[in-house]
Amino acid sequence: MIKFALTAVFLSISLSPSHADNSQLGQQIFVDHCAVCHGETAQGNGPMHSVLLIKPTNLTLLSAQNGGKFPLVRAIKRIDGRDPLVSHGSPMPVYGDYFDGVDVALKTEAGQPIFTSEPVEQIIEWLRTLQE
């Protein structure tokens, strides 16, 4: 049973769209659901920025603020709601079930898998391309 589950996980990883495709899809999801606060370029300057008590994070600096390494696990958990933020008014994502879906596994720096949904994976791939 375990071998079957692991095979299914690795097949889902290998059959998923390329990172470039995921990045493009992630950008569109971000623009549709996150840009109102974080801005279309993810710099924390969306149209709602000025009225928010807790200002949105500049997401292009995630790696720079983490010793040059993209904080994969923290970013996934913030987006999918496992690490909720008070500034969002509720656990993330505020869009509820939209970010639910087929689980995919991403590898952490330690080589361990972390599971999340495809929309979250796609947002993560796009955010990785923005890092300064």
Task: Convert the pLDDT of each residue in 67-114 to its tens digit.
Answer: 999 999 999 988 887 877 766 555 555 666 677 777 899 999 999 999
Given pLDDT bands bounded at 50, 70 and 90, which one contains residue 55?
confident
Burial of 49 by CB count in 10 Å (0-12 exposed, 13-18 middle, 19+ buried)? middle
Residue 68, sorted as left (phi over 0), alpha (psi -120 to 50) or beta, turns out to be left
pTM (two decimals): 0.78
Segments making up each domain of the chain, as ranges: 2-129
pLDDT digits (tens, 9 = 90+) for 2-49: 544 444 444 444 445 566 688 899 999 999 999 999 999 999 999 998
Q: CA neighbours within 13 Å on the CB side: how many for 116? A: 27
